[in-house]
Structure formats: structure tokens, C-alpha cells
Amino acid sequence: MAVQDFVARVRNRKVLSTALILLTLAIGILLGTLISTGVRAQRQAAAPDATPLSIPSPVQLSNSFSQVAKRVSPAVVNINAETLARPTTRRRRPSDEEGEDPREEMFRRFFGRPFEFFDAPQGQRSHHLGSGVIVDPNGYILTNNHVIAQADRIRVKLKDDSTLYDAKVIGADPETDLAVIKVETRKQLATAKLGNSDAVQVGDWAIAIGSPLGFDETMTAGIISAKGRQIGGGRQSQFQRYIQTDAAINLGNSGGPLLNINGEVIGINTAIVSTTGGFDGLGFAMPSNVAINVFNQIIKGGKVIRGSIGIGFSEPTDNSRDAALRVYGAKEGGVIVNEVEPGGPAEKGGLKPEDVIIAIDGKTVRNGDDLVGIVAGSAVGAKLKLTLLRDKDRMELPVEVGDRTEVFKERNAQAREEPAGTRQGTEEMFGIRVSNLTREQRRQWEYEDPNGVAVVEVDPSSFAADIGLQKNDIIVSINRRPVSSVQDVKLIQRDLKPGSDVAFRIMRRDRVSGRAQWRALVLAGSLPPNA
């Protein structure tokens, strides 16, 4: 019996242990199920229709840039322009009385000290470093004119070659700041492929290769941030429409290539705009299509010849351009002629100030860029048929293209003097004060036109200021109605209503060869609704 009792107790204990184990497992399973269900329920409640994200396979974007570097960098050269200091050729400083050319100031800020190398002691050589790109296997290199313009000796360093090769200038074009030089070597030279800059779009990748700050074969990347940028002034800037990039460009990059992601040259790096003298995110390159045209003309004739018909025009701001054209009867664009060069092709052809050119040889002219592109690209001696509006009537005139360097022998440098004047009228609608011109004033200012009133004050927050009217301008007509007195301005103003289009034809003084000369401008806009 004792044995049986012992066996029974053991069995009962096993059953109890087993029961306890099973109970524990059951509780664990239940808790796990509840927790898992709760977590799933919580996830489903947060975003039940969301698809989990996955990490994509690595894309070798950097490989695209490295391939461009391998392919193009052998064609990029370092240029060392040496100049023997001569006291007689010292450049002006900003403190000189006659001031400093705005374009020279732009490049001085870009390159810093190299623009002051003429101040070195006489007989010592100064070095101006820049870049260039080989575009022909016979050693022809595209670079900037300002890199080599003042050099007595130009030497070129090739990639992976310590030799400095002497180069000669084939030709230069100051108006686009481009130049072609040539080196003679016994080695086979790599060349860069030029692309079509018209295909460039804002947002495209941009790659710069050059010798910034003396560091050869430096590559930087960014994007095209704008197109058609104009950063200078005057007639010369008509041929300077830059590609803007945020690819880092610094001292020494000038003359080097700006590339697209395919390794094609889409521009020649020319300048930066900077508040510090270093890279601030704004670099500018002359488009490759311009460079190709300049290169082809230089290798053919040693220089660039551009056509001209001998007119002056101004491009109103975007807000005022349409208003000006509507006043002159042009509904679909055009260029308002402000000046006709005496003895030039346009005058000989019968063109007059205030004519509006709307087409040339059947090609629509919507703006100044269209006009300059057609005329400057025409051969000297070519006959062009100008379609224009005169007093809102359509007519055609034949004009023979001249050589621009012959048509415009002198360039205007703005240095307007301050004329005296007595305040005789307040034009609140326009936001200006004007005065009648006395005989003495006309004599002092060398202003012979019997018409016109002088602007003696412009409200900086007014309509007049918005369209560009300035103190000392002379208003000769408003909406094509002649103005010879303050009273004329008041009468014309009475006929205008808020929102009306208004076009001022004015005369503004420039200085040419030391004496004041007047040039005509058209400034226009739409009066504000509450004027």
C-alpha cells in the first residue's frame, strides 16, 4: 500500500506540474496574441493604405561627373599671361578723377590684384593666370580676351605636362570678351566638343573646369540658374547675354569651359558678381554658340566683323515695354528707334526716330535681341528689307548693312551734368516736377531743340520713377504729342485716365570725347489704377 500511495502521489505531482506548464504556456500565447494584435491594429490605424518604403539601389551619379572629367580635362589648359610693367600703361584706379569703366570694375572685382599688375616696378613682370579650352587639335584655344589682352608673353600649360608652351594670339573680340590663341607642340592634343547653348535649360547640370586660384584641373558642379543675363551696360553689352550658373567659379577660372552633363562645352566662363571678391554663387559664361561664331570669324579673318544699320534704341522694362509699343501702334512686339546715326545706313535708307521696326527680311522682330541678332549676323554690304511702323502706318525700307566699327566710331560714356532749373510745375499724376527751358539754359547745356521741358525732380515712389525718368531729363513728347512748355504737360495729363498707357520721349545727356551730347530714349508704362 505504501508503494501504491507513493506512486499515486508522484503521478498527481506530474499531472499538476504538467497542468501548470500548460497553463503558463496558454497565458503566454494569449498575451502574445493580444500584444501582436494590438500592434497590428495600431499600425493599420495610422496609415492602412500606405506602402512601405524601400531603399533604392545606389545610382552612380558621381560616375557621370568623373567620366566628364576624364574626357574633357585633358583639353583644358592653364594660361599664364606675363606683362612687363610700364609706367605709361598704368590702368586707372577707382579713385581717378574720370572714374572707372563699369565693365573693367566688374572684371577687377572678379580677378582682384591681376588688374593692378601695371603698378609693379618698371622692368618687372606680372603674371595673370587664366584658363582656356582646346577646340582644335592643331592647338587652337578659346579663352577670354581680358586674360590675354595686355600680355607681352602668353604661355600655356597642358594637363600632365610641366612644360610651358608659348602661344600666339590669332584674334580677339572685346565685345564678347573672347579670344583665340594657338600653341605649337609635337604631341597630339585632346580637344573638347562644343555643344549647342540654345538647348541649355534652367535647372540643367553645369560643370566648370579650370585653374581657380592657381589650382590646375579643378572641377566644380552646379546647375544652370538663368539664361540671357546681361551684366554690363552700353552698346557693347548688346552682344553679352550670359549663361548664369552656381557652379563654383573663382579667380583663374576665366576662359575655361562650362560643360553640360554630356561633357559638351556650352559656355566660356567669363565673370562672377561678388560682394567679397570670391565665389558668391553667381558665375557667368558666354554661350558656346556665340563662341563658335567668334572662333570661326577669327580663324578666317583674324577679327570679328559685325553688321550695323546705325540706330540707337532702348529696351523698356517688362512692365512698360508693351505700353510703349501700344502707344506707337505695335501690338505684337518691335523695337522703337530712338536715334539714327548721322550718315549711317539707316539715315541713308530713310529711317527716322520713333519708327518701330517689327520685321527684317520677313523675320519678326519682337525685341532688341532679335534685331541685334539679325543685323549683327548679316554680312557687310548685305541689303535688308526693314518692315516698320511710322505714325502707326506700315511701310518697308531697304537698308544696306555697314561695318559696326565704322558706323559707330565713338562710344558713349555716361557722365550727365546737373542743369539748373526753376520749379514751375508739379505733375502729381506722373510724380515729377518740370520747368520751362530758358535761352540761357539751352546755351549752357548745348541743347538746340526748341521743344522740351526739363525734369527737375522725380518722386522716388512715383510712376515716373518706375519707368525710369530721371532728374535732368528733357521731355520732348508725351504719347507722341510735342511738349514745349509746362502747360503742354498739364494739358496732356488732363486727357489721361488711371490705367492709361503713357510713353515719354526724352533726351538724356551723355559725354562723348569730353563734350556733352544728347541721346533720345522712349520710357513708357501704364498709369496705376489710382493715379
| Annotated catalytic residue, options 173, 177, 216, 501 | 177
Please compute, for residue 367, the number of CA atoms within 13 A of its CA located in the half-sphere on the CB side: 8
The enclosing H or E element of 194 equals none
Please give the Cα distance from 336 to 357 (Å, whole number). 7
Give the number of other Cβ atoms within 10 Å of residue 7's Cβ: 10
Q: How far apart are CA 179 and CA 82, in angstroms?
A: 16
- CB burial readout 268-282, b (16+ within 10 A) else e: bbbbbebeeeebeeb
Q: What are phi and psi of 426, to 5 degrees?
A: -120, 125
What CA–CA distance (Å, rounded) separates 187 from 104?
A: 37
User: What is the spatial distance between Cα 368 and Cα 394, in angstroms, rounded to a whole number?
Assistant: 19
Q: Which of 73, 131, 197, 254 is catalytic?
A: 254
- In this structure, are residues 171 and 130 in contact, taking their beta carbons and an 8 Å threshold? no
- Give the torsion sign (CA, 366, 372, 375, 379): negative
Position 394: which residue type? R
Cell of residue 245, nine digits = 550658373
Q: What's the CA angle centered on 232, arms 226 and 237, to 5 degrees?
A: 95
Q: How far is CA 263 from the centre of its chain?
A: 22
Q: What's the CA gap between 115 and 118, in Å, rounded?
A: 8
Q: Is 146 annotated as catalytic? A: yes
The CA-based diameter of the chain, rounded to the nearest angstrom, is 151
Cell (9 digits) for 447:
541743347
Nearest to 190 by CA among 104, 102, 257, 283: 257
Rg (CA), the chain: 36
Query: Is residue 98 packed enough to be buried (19+ CB in 10 Å), middle (13-18) or exposed (0-12)?
Result: exposed
Concerning whether 57 is annotated as a catalytic residue, the answer is no
* Residue 235, Cβ density class (10 Å: 0-12 exposed, 13-18 middle, ≥19 buried): middle
CA 112/CA 214 separation, integer angstroms: 14
Catalytic residue among 128, 146, 246, 370: 146
> Per the structure block, which three cell numbers stand in for 333?
512686339
- C-alpha cell read off for 464: 515716373
Question: Quick one: cell of 351?
Answer: 529711317
- 254 a catalytic residue: yes
C-alpha to C-alpha distances, 509 to 310, 313, 344, 517, nearest whole angstrom: 19, 15, 21, 6
**DSSP per residue over 380-406, as a string?**
TT-EEEEEEEETTEEEEEEEE-EEHHH
* Active site members: 146, 177, 254
